[in-house]
Amino acid sequence: MDMIELLEPFQRMLDAIATPSEVRAVEEGGDAGPMWQEFAESGFMDALVAEEHGGAGLTLADIEPLLQAIGAQPVPLPVAETMVARALLANAGIDRPDGPILMVTGSALPVPCAAAASHALVDDGEQLHLSPMEALSPVTTGAYHSLSMRLTDTPSGEKLARPAGGLRAIAAVLRAALIAGAAERLTQMSTQFANERVQFGKPIGRQQAVQHMLAVMGEDMIACRIAAQLGLSKGLDVPMPVAAAAKITTSAAVPRIAATAHAVHGAIGISEEYDLQLLTRRLHEWRLADGSEGYWEALLGAARLASPDPTVDWVRTEIFA
Amino acid sequence: MFDTFAIASLPEADESLRSAVRDIIVRCAKGMPTDQRARSWQGFSAEFSRMLGAEGFLGLTLPEQYGGRDRGPFSRFVVVEELLCAGAPVAAHWMADRQSAPLILNYGTETQRQFYIPRICRGEALFCIGMSEPGAGSDLAGVRTRAERRDGGWLLNGQKIWTTHAVHSDYMIALVRTSGTSADRQGGLSQLIVDLKAPGVTVRPITDLTGDAHFSEVFFDNVELGEDALIGNEGEGWKQVTAELAFERSGPERIYSSVVLLDAWIRHVQSSRQIAARADVSPLVGRITAEFATLRAMSIACTARLAAGESPVLEASIVKDRGTSFEQLLPIVIGDDLAAHPDEAVSDELYRTLLYVTHIAPSFSLRGGTREILRGIIARGMGLR
| H/E run at residue A21 | helix A20-27
Which residues 158-177 on chain B approach chain A with CB closer than 8 angstroms?
A: none
CA distances (Å), origin B119, targets B100, B194, B245:
12, 16, 22
Segment B233-244 mean pLDDT: 91
Segment B224-232 mean pLDDT: 95
How many angstroms separate the CA atoms of A78 and A85, rounded?
A: 10
What are the tens digits of pLDDT across the range A113-134? Answer: 999 999 999 999 999 999 999 9
- Please state at what angle helix A166-196 crosses helix A64-72, rounded to 10 degrees: 60
Tell me if A298 and B282 make a contact (CB, 8 A cut-off). yes
- Cβ-Cβ contacts under 8 Å, A212 against chain B: 372, 375-376, 379
Of B248, B253, B315, B327, the active-site residue reads: B248
Nearest to A211 among B285, B322, B379 (CB): B379
Count of other CB atoms within 10 angstroms of residue A270? 12
Which residues does B316 contact at the CB level (< 8 Å), separation at least 6? B246, B249, B250, B302
The Cα of B8 is separated from the nearest Cα of chain A by a number of Å equal to: 9
Tell me if A302 and B279 make a contact (CB, 8 A cut-off). yes
> Given this model, what pLDDT does residue B340 score?
97
Tell me if B384 and A311 make a contact (CB, 8 A cut-off). no
pLDDT per residue rounded down to tens, chain A (321 residues):
456 688 999 999 999 999 999 999 999 999 999 999 999 999 999 999 999 999 999 999 999 999 999 999 999 999 999 999 999 999 999 999 999 999 999 888 999 999 999 999 999 999 999 999 999 999 999 999 999 999 988 888 899 999 988 999 999 999 999 999 999 999 999 999 999 999 999 999 999 999 999 999 999 999 999 999 999 999 999 999 999 999 999 999 999 999 999 999 999 999 999 999 999 999 999 999 999 999 999 999 999 999 999 999 999 999 999
What's the per-residue H, E or C state across B248-300? HHHCHHHHCCCHHHHHHHHHHHHHHCCCHHHHHCHHHHHHHHHHHHHHHHHHH
- Phi, psi of B141, rounded to the nearest 5 degrees: -65, -15
> Given this model, what pLDDT does residue A156 score?
82
What are the tens digits of pLDDT across the range B28-37? Answer: 877 899 999 9
Residue B349 is among the residues annotated as catalytic for this protein: no
Q: Is the peptide bond before B89 cis (omega within 30 degrees of 0)?
A: no
C-alpha A51, offset from chain centre: 25
How many angstroms separate the CA atoms of B117 and B68, rounded?
A: 8
What are the tens digits of pLDDT across the range B48-84? Answer: 999 999 999 999 999 999 999 999 999 999 999 999 9
Tell me if A301 and B286 make a contact (CB, 8 A cut-off). yes
Tell me if A214 and B382 make a contact (CB, 8 A cut-off). yes
Report the percent of chain B where pLDDT is more than 90. Answer: 86
How many angstroms separate the CA atoms of B313 and B317, rounded?
A: 6
Best residue of B255, B326, B378 to probe chain A, by most A CBs closer than 10 Å: B378
Question: Looking at residue A111, what DSSP letter applies?
Answer: B
What's the per-residue H, E or C state across A28-79? CCCCCHHHHHHHHHHCHHHCCCCHHHCCCCCCCCCCHHHHHHHHHCCCCCCH
CA distances (Å), origin B173, targets A240, A241, B232, B240:
48, 44, 12, 11
Nearest to A301 among B262, B285, B383 (CB): B285
Residue of B nearest to A298 (CA): B283
Segment B261-275 mean pLDDT: 97
Residue of A nearest to B300 (CA): A226
Predicted ipTM? 0.96
